[in-house]
Structure 1
Amino acid sequence: MIDDFAAAAQATMAYLRHRLGFRLWMVTRTEGDDWIVLYADDAGYGITPGQSFRWTDTVCARMVLGHGPNIAPSTIDVPAYAQAPLGRHLPTGAYVGIPLRRGDGSLFGTLCGFDPQPQPPSIREELDTLTLLGSLLATILDRELDSGSEARLADRAGADDARDSLTGLVNRRGWDMFLQREEERCSRYGHSACVVSIDLDDLKFTNDTQGQGSGDALLMRAARALEQVTRGTDVIARLGGDEFAMLMVECDYFDAQAMLMRVQEALAAADVRASLGMAMRKPGYDLEEAFAMADAEMVRAKRSRKVLN
């Protein structure tokens, strides 16, 4: 029985290859201006899962906008498809594509097929079959994404043995665990995510001049400030000493920028001075690599603050 999105995607592509041929079948995700290949059944194009292209350059983008049909036996006869810039990378003589939409109607991605050669006009008769398969795939996807949100909340609630004893935030072990679990979701569904590295500027000075109790109070103010501006599915961690980290899930660049501003405002309101670095998880590098980039940006910010002071 096929009851998960990955297996359903693979089975759907295998069935369509058997029924229609075509050299390339894909299940894709649109995320911002990225068109991300989640699953591929490829016989000659050299496409692998995880690759991304510019969404606006694709035939699928034009199909979703209604600039061409779901089934084009000869793309040269459809000007919008023939002129798609990605055609230089994916030679397209024939094309089929169906949008994959969430239950709320928002676009998730596409189920699509490409062949370098034009195909018989009779393939237009397969539209009902293609539409049905896309609808079934989207239903499985929507169910999994909803259960994934519930799983995140359950993970957060069940992390009592991976918490920092002072602040109650996730500790280093918990952070590594959540980062790994979210990376699995990102790889599976093409989610974007944002990671933030935070280093308090005054903890050592506060401990040295006012005592550890004041230092602990500073850490607590920082923790509560971060909790005020995050969602229940996000992760806040105290990695040790004066180091904090944040993981914001299903968060695009613009959402991340807005969140970072709220973080800065919340810390300032709590009288906490800190250096921050942010990076996005994108196709091509994972969450651990993104966090390393955020950490490097935080270090640069801290050095810059020292020079200014």
Structure 2
Amino acid sequence: MKVPIDAMLPYASLQESLPALLGCLRLVVPMRLWMVGRLAGSSWTVIQADDTQDRVRAGDSFPWPDTLCIRVLEHYGCCFAEDAAANPVLADAPVRSAIPIGAYIGYPMLSWRGELLGTICGVHPEPMPPFSAAQRQLVKTISRTINTLVAHSFKLDDQRSAPARVRPPANIDHLTGLPNQHGWQVLLEEEEAALKQEGADAMAMMVELNEPENSADGAGSVDWDNTLNRVAHLLKSHVREQDGLARVGPARFALLLRGVNVRQGDHAAEKIGQALADAGIRAGLGHAMRLASGSLANAVRIADIRMYNAKLGAAGVPGAPAAQTAQMPGEGDSGHQRKV
């Protein structure tokens, strides 16, 4: 029997791989519930669950001090308990009064620096027969693989959310403090890798200001520098911590909004355009979606073209596209251009 080649491709994201790996853990040790949970402060939150009774789901949260995981990490690191009631460390855990737990397996998830990220655990309402050496080895190996994928995903999140000030000075525009063209390219490469892993969408946007007609008020003048800083601050107020913003030219800014769909992207672009207009800033705007099947480079290219077309339309250039053009033929990205 031939297996379709698509079934051999890498998983598209962490979210797609976790159910499959938890399914493997279930095959090795058929517990009622297998979970991957992240530790944040005093809460342990489920990232992925495989529950035969469908009671525990992703997003459910439990007090970390009440869990079995906190107890086993302090004493064992990795724990295999076929009978939780017979284990002196686990027997009086508060969570056992809320959830019937007869058998338990716990494995810590660590970052590359050794910090505790969360745990992988399995629970069963009744005690189970003794686990074999093969079962223990397979559970450890699959759990360590899950840990590797989660740690890599969190590392990418940390890199994306790192503030611009920790980036190399050569990547920074000294006037606005934003990443410059080189910093923008580095950001795009990092984001492309992350978006491919997560299977997520994003929106790219280009904004170019209309430079003053009077050359004395243009590049290098105090008024022009103040205008650029005003725009930089305005755009910063419209992006989130996980988004990207850069000054990529003398009068040009680039934005990247992560995890937005087409409707949200259009709404965000409309708000930014209106905010610039309200501030008396004349500029051309263009945006395009980077869908899961596309690329950031292509979305940026389309957004740049739309921004340029918007400026031509605003200047009344014969043959220039209208200011609200639908998506370009042959492209899988959605977006529009706008003149302000």
Name the TM tier (shorter chain): 0.5 to 0.7
- Cα deviation for residue 185 of structure 1 reads 0.8
Change (3 A) 1:170 1:47: same
C-alpha deviation, 1:244, in angstroms: 1.0
Q: Determine the C-alpha separation between the residues in 2 that align with 1:182 and 1:283.
A: 12
- Give CA-to-partner distance per residue, 1:84-108, whole Å, 9 cap, x none: xxxxxxxxxxxxxxxx998666889
Structure 1: how far apart are the matches of 2:183 and 2:205? 16
Q: Which has the larger radius of gyration?
A: 2
| Match of residue 245 from structure 2 | 236
Higher helix share: 1
138 and 249 in structure 1: CA distance in 2 versus 1, 3 angstrom threshold:
farther
Corresponding residue for residue 44 of structure 1: 4
Confirm or deny that 1:179 pairs with 2:188: yes
User: In the alignment, is the contact (CA less than 8 A) between 1:50 and 1:283 conserved in 2?
Assistant: no
Shift of the alpha carbon at 1:194?
1.1
The answer to whether the 8 Å contact 1:167/1:220 transfers is: yes
1:144 offset after TM fit, Å? 4.3
Q: Match of 1:271?
A: 280
Q: Take 2:176 and 2:266, find their aligned partners in 1: how far apart are those partners?
A: 25
Q: Structure 1 296/51 Cα, relative in aligned 2: closer, same or farther at 3 Å?
A: farther
Q: Deviations over 1:149-200 (max 9, x none)?
A: 2221226342243111111111001001100111111122212111101111
Query: Of residues 201, 205, 209 in structure 1, which corresponds to 2:213?
Result: 205
Q: Where do 5+ consecutive residues of structure 2 fail to align?
A: 24-34, 39-44, 50-123, 125-134, 317-322, 324-338
Contact 1:102 1:138 survives alignment (8 Å): no
Tell me if 1:300 matches 2:309. yes
Q: Percent identity?
A: 24
1:261 aligned partner, one-letter code? E
Q: 1:252 to 1:266 in 2, by over 3 A?
A: same
- Alignment check: 8 A CA contact 1:207 1:215 kept: no
Checking the alignment, whether the CA contact within 8 Å between 2:161 and 2:241 is kept in structure 1 is: yes
Question: d(CA) in 2 for partners of 1:249 and 1:287?
Answer: 11
Please state if 1:249 is matched with 2:289.
Answer: no
| TM-score, normalising length: structure 2 | 0.50
- How far apart in 2 are the matches of 1:102 and 1:276? 42
Query: How many Å apart are 1:235 and its aligned residue?
Result: 1.5
Describe how 1:22-61 pairs up with structure 2 within 5 A: 43-46=3-6, 49=9
Determine helix, strand or coil for the equivalent of 2:213: helix
Tell me the secondary structure at the aligned position of residue 205 of structure 1. Answer: coil
Structure 1: 5+ residue stretches without partners: 1-21, 24-42, 53-59, 65-69, 71-99, 109-127
TM-score normalised by structure 1 residue count? 0.54
Structure 1 residues 239 and 255: CA distance shift in structure 2, 3 A = same
**1:267 Cα offset (Å):** 1.6
Q: Following the alignment from structure 1 to structure 2, what is the Cα–Cα distance between the partners of residues 258 and 107?
A: 31
Tell me, what secondary structure is at the counterpart of 2:176? coil
Q: Does 1:223 align with 2:223?
A: no
CA 1:144 to 1:165, structure 2 compared with 1: closer, same or farther past 3 Å?
same
The match for 1:3 is: none
Distance 2:191 2:146 in 1: 21
Go from structure 1 to structure 2 and tell me whether the alpha carbon gap of 1:156 and 1:213 turns closer, same or farther (over 3 Å shift). closer
State which of 150, 158, 168 in structure 1 corresponds to 2:166: 158
The alignment of Structure 1 onto Structure 2 pairs a total of residues equal to 204
Q: What amino acid is aligned across from residue 228 of structure 2 in structure 1?
A: L
Contact (CA 8 Å) 2:206, 2:300: kept in 1 or not? yes
* 1:148 alignment counterpart: 156
Which structure has the higher relative contact order (CA within 8 Å, separation 6+)?
A: 1
- 1:207-237 residue CA offsets vs partner (Å, 9 max, x unmatched): 4457822221221111111011111221211
